[in-house]
Amino acid sequence: MKSFGIEKIQKLLPHRYPFLLVDKVIESDGGTRQIALKNVTVNEPFFQGHFPGFPVMPGVLQIEAIAQAAGLMALSNLETDNMEPVDTILMSIDAVKFRRMVRPGDQLMIETKLVSHRRNMAKITGVATVDGEVATEATMMFAMFPKSSRDKDSAKKETPQ
């Protein structure tokens, strides 16, 4: 089991503050199971409007935290010195359930598990818990592709027709 911190997370994911929603990977077993951590603090920008006087972490951001943790799991498994850098793109979300509110001071423990992986597609389940109680769960499908294809796609769009 390996763990890693914010430096490696920022190397693997393109997200940055205020949208980076994973603080640390506590356990990773090589791409089939991982536990990540998100510390939920009162100074998160979304709490200003969700909801004044009763701060609750938006469900869509809980799903995003699970998606980022799942992306980290997939990317950390693929990472080698000789391999071209890869992006993960969320393709679908199924079986989403919100079971409890997430409030400032909570720690989201996000467990992700690989369900299947074929070519450039991965299906991953994720469960976020607070104090051992399930807060959010979902099954997600991701596409993985080389980061170099970003430049090719943007060049096609910018070329006058």
pLDDT along the chain (161 residues), means of 10: 92 94 94 96 96 97 98 78 78 98 98 94 97 98 88 59 53
41, 86 in Cβ contact below 8 A? no
Q: What is the pTM of this model?
A: 0.90
Report, as residue numbers or ranges, the catalytic residues: 50
pLDDT of residue 82: 56
38 Cβ contact list (under 8 Å, min separation 6)? 21, 22, 23, 65, 107, 108, 110, 128
pLDDT of residue 161: 53
Which stretches of 62-132 are assigned E, i.e. beta strand? 86-98, 107-118, 121-130
Domains of the chain: 2-158 (3.10.129.10)
- CA geometry: angle at 108 spanning 133 and 45, to 5°? 130
